Amino acid sequence: MSIEFIQALYDQSCPLPENPNDYQSVLEDIEYFQLSATVYHLLKQQGRPKQTPDFFQNRLQQEYQQVFYNNLYIKNQLNLILDTFETNGIPTIPLAETYFGHFSARRTTDIDLLIRKDDMEKAVECVKSLGYTIERNYAPYMYHYTFSRMIPHSPVPLTIDYIGIFLKKYIKS
């Protein structure tokens, strides 16, 4: 991806490349690193998608829409999990939207949650009751579990990672 394009993405005072031919190699890099949704989100947030060639806009928008629908399903699952945890008195910190600003700004197939280690057993039972199965139980001292469930129309399952180590100071009872 060209330095000029990256600068323009993060600094609106920098113009986007004017030569349509430059966008083909930029697009190849974006797709290789699976950043289409993120780049489209940034351009859209700045009101600049129309400043790029049509083929570039269309490819980014197509990937963004696929990510949007996939992540919408995952967000609904996250809300269901968070509601279940709240009902059962389990404080939780979900990680994704905090760092990317919008649930569809990056492709994901997992949900990362921080949970107090004291609540891990109760959280495991809640997630099992929602139809998830334990994929991996790391060493007990790590307080890390991974659960999964198939996503409709996807060969990749939805995965939930619980990380519960050293969280007492971050999540208050």
CB 33 within 8 A of CB 73: no
Are 106 and 38 in contact by the 8 Å Cβ rule? The answer is yes
pLDDT digits (tens, 9 = 90+) for 64-110: 888 888 888 888 888 999 999 999 999 988 876 556 666 666 666 77
- Looking at residue 98, its pLDDT comes to 58
Domain locations in the chain? Answer: 3-66, 71-163
Q: What span, in angstroms and rounded, lies between the C-alpha atoms of 128 and 171?
A: 23
Question: Residue 3: pLDDT band by 50, 70, 90 thresholds?
Answer: confident
Rounded to whole angstroms, what are the CA distances from 129 to 29, 104, 134, 172, 173?
41, 27, 12, 25, 23
Q: Output DSSP code: residue 74.
A: H
Band of pLDDT at residue 173, cut at 50, 70 and 90: very low
Q: Which CATH architecture has domain 71-163?
A: 2-Layer Sandwich (3.30)
**SS3 per-residue string spanning 22-49:** HHHHHHHHHHHCCCHHHHHHHHHHCCCH
The whole-number pLDDT of residue 167 equals: 40
Q: What is the pLDDT of residues 111-159, one digit of tens each?
A: 888 888 788 889 888 988 988 887 665 555 555 678 888 877 777 778 8
